[in-house]
């Protein structure tokens, strides 16, 4: 599949934002987040900025962005529509929670309950986003439970790392707890991604050129001549190919930058050189962003649509 930049930013940016919103509510109820106006303004500002920016960027991939609102009318059958409805609904409780936190210095009791509803809605929205891809039987690499698991785990992981950076920036006493939480989800994300790649790589072919054309009884099918003299929409969007050797290198880059280095940076901040916590926190965020963007680019670039069987692909 063609890895559109707008969709990559949408899935990574909004996921991190929703992860932050979820952790803000959960950790506040546990007593690990101060009801401080300045801290709340920065935390919710970053979270809403990522969510809003991600959702806005997703419309750039549409043929007619001005008609994006119409997509929400098909919520009974479309995961894209459900994602849009859930995203808008999430702004209600999370917005009220942010106002209570920033202007009333309150993030527990009634406000905490509203925040917890917002956290649940945030995770539901991420789940709906994952199902936009995970429900597509025509793309076997996405049609797996690990797509849903990865989206949810990565949202919580990136949200936790960003929140740790803020806690270090504001010198919160709970920063060490959030750091350990981030380490757990970085390790979990690493494992989930490895399992996902192994599941995709070792999955049996669901379709072949022989089964797609119905000519398998005649023997091996191969393309003699392309059905088009130049690339059409299907080939541009669904016929994107990446060499196996390049994919292997990019997988290593995604794992090292997205999971390993942030994990080691947090370890160094906690147990090695705590006086450089802020430097390590910033480094973890920057490398993590590069790694997750690489991972998400691969998520799209490595996926093959069954329609490519009619354009020379032998099996999917």
| Phi, psi (degrees; rounded to nearest 5) at 208 | -130, 170
Residue with tokens 């309150």: 106
Rounded CA gap, 12 and 8, in Å?
6
pLDDT (0 to 100) of residue 61: 65
Q: Average pLDDT, stretch 121-146?
A: 95
pLDDT (0 to 100) of residue 180: 97
Tell me the torsion sign for CA atoms 310, 312, 315, 316: negative
Task: Give the range of the structural domain holding residue 286, as residue numbers without chain letter.
Answer: 5-311
Give domain status of residue 195, yes or no.
yes
Residue 279 — very low, low, confident or very high, per pLDDT cuts 50/70/90? Answer: very high
Give domain status of residue 316, yes or no.
no
Complete DSSP assignment for the chain: ----HHHHHHHHHHHHHHHHHHHHHHHHHTT-S---HHHHHHHHHHHHHHHHHHHHHHGGGSS-GGGGGGGGGGTTT-HHHHHHHHHHHHHHHHHHHHHHHHHH---SHHHHHHHHHHHHHHHHHHHHHHHHHHT-TT-TTTSSHHHHHHHHHHHHHHHHHHHHHHHHHTT-TTHHHHHHHHHHHHHHHHHHHHHHHHHHHHSPPS-BHHHHHT-GGG-----SS-SSSS--HHHHHH-----HHHHHHHHHHHHIIIIIHHHHHHHIIIII-GGGHHHHHHHHHHHHHHHHHHHHHHHHHT---GGGGGGT--B-
**pLDDT tens for each residue of 82-106:** 999 999 999 999 999 999 999 999 9
pLDDT (0 to 100) of residue 233: 66
Rounded CA gap, 242 and 257, in Å?
20
The maximal CA–CA distance of the chain, rounded, in angstroms, is 74
Domain count of the fold of the chain: 1
Task: Give yes or no for residue 6 having a pLDDT over 70.
Answer: yes
Task: Give yes or no for residue 216 having a pLDDT over 80.
Answer: no
Q: Average pLDDT, stretch 263-286?
A: 95
**pLDDT tens for each residue of 37-76:** 999 999 999 999 999 999 888 777 666 666 666 667 778 8
Give domain status of residue 27, yes or no.
yes
How many CA atoms, within 13 angstroms, populate the side-chain half-sphere of residue 87?
A: 27
Residue with tokens 């210095």: 105
CATH number at residue 301: 1.20.1630.10
Q: Average pLDDT, stretch 117-145?
A: 96
Answer for the pair 99, 116: CB distance below 8 angstroms, yes or no: no
**pLDDT tens for each residue of 167-196:** 999 999 999 999 999 999 999 999 999 999
| Phi, psi (degrees; rounded to nearest 5) at 295 | -60, -45
């Amino acid at each position: 599949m063609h890895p559109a930049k707008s969709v990559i930013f949408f899935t990574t940016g909004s996921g991190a934002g929703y992860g932050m919103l979820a952790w803000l509510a959960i950790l506040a109820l546990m007593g690990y987040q101060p009801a401080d106006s300045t801290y709340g303004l920065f935390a919710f500002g970053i979270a809403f900025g990522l969510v809003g920016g991600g959702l806005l960027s997703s419309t750039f991939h549409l043929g007619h962005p001005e008609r994006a609102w119409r997509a929400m009318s098909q919520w009974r059958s479309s995961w894209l529509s459900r994602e849009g409805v859930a995203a808008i609904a999430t702004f209600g409780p999370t917005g009220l929670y942010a106002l209570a936190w920033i202007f009333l210095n309150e993030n527990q009791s009634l406000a905490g309950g509203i925040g917890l509803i917002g956290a649940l809605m945030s995770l539901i929205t991420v789940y709906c986003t994952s199902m936009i891809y995970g429900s597509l039987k025509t793309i076997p690499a996405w049609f797996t439970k690990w797509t849903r698991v990865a989206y949810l785990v990565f949202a919580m992981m990136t949200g936790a790392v960003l929140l740790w950076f803020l806690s270090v920036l504001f010198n919160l006493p709970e920063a060490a707890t959030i750091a350990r939480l981030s380490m757990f989800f970085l390790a979990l994300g690493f494992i989930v991604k490895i399992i996902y790649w192994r599941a995709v790589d070792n999955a049996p072919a669901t379709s072949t050129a022989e089964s797609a054309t119905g000519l398998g009884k005649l023997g091996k099918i191969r393309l003699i001549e392309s059905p088009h003299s130049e690339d059409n929409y299907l080939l541009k969007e669904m016929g994107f190919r990446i060499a196996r050797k390049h994919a292997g290198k990019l997988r290593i880059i995604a794992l090292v930058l997205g999971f390993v280095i942030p994990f080691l940076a947090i370890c160094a901040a906690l147990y090695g050189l705590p006086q450089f916590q802020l430097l390590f926190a910033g480094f973890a965020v920057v490398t993590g962003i590069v790694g997750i963007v690489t991972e998400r680019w691969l998520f799209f670039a490595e996926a093959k649509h069954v329609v490519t069987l009619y354009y020379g692909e032998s099996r999917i």
